[in-house]
Amino acid sequence: MSLPFSQALEYLTILIDFIGYIILMVTAGKFVLQYVKFELHRLSGLSCALAYQNMRMEFLSQVILAIDFMVISDVIKSGLAKDLNTLITLAVFVLIRSALAFFLGLDLKQVQQEHITKSENLSSHN
């Protein structure tokens, strides 16, 4: 690859990583605020099961999105790797991040299924 193109790809990976980290930070901040609000409602005696599931679904979805950005960055970096050690390190990162996203996706699917079940139970009681 030509040097300017490689350099442009390196900058692109930095930008993609940055986007992933921003998504994680915003997600963590939102989750903390939502969780405090949830706990205040719960402590006041309000039933908040569906609100908690909604919070978890949003949190898991956004964390998976952030991980996806980081995997994309690692895949691009693998094309720029200059030695085998760097390539192996990137492969390990991709493997770990992909496994994490997979298991978070399973958790998300379970939460979505529970949400559907509770929503159906609430609507059948009305």
Please say whether the beta carbons of 61 and 105 come within 8 A: no
Residues 101-119 as b or e (16 or more Cβ within 10 Å = b)? beebeeebeebeeebeeee
Per-residue pLDDT at 125 exceeds 70: no
DSSP state of 47: -
Most confident residue range from 32-46, 67-81, 108-122: 67-81
Share of the chain above pLDDT 90, in %: 65
Give residue 48's pLDDT band: very low, low, confident or very high (50, 70, 90): confident
Work out the mean pLDDT of the chain and round it to a whole number: 89
Q: What is the per-residue pLDDT for 119?
A: 66
Q: What is the per-residue pLDDT for 33?
A: 95
Of 3-17, 18-32, 39-53, 80-94, minimum mean pLDDT range: 39-53
Domain that holds residue 78: 3-125
Q: What is the per-residue pLDDT for 42?
A: 82
More confident residue, 23 or 82: 23
Give residue 106's pLDDT band: very low, low, confident or very high (50, 70, 90): very high
Which residues, including other chains, have CB under 8 Å from residue 65's CB and lie 6 or more apart? 23
- Provide the number of structural domains found in the chain: 1
Read off the pLDDT of each residue in 57-73 and give the average, rounded to a whole number. 96
Residues 32-66 as b or e (16 or more Cβ within 10 Å = b)? eebeeebeeeeeeeeebeeebbebbbebbbbbbeb
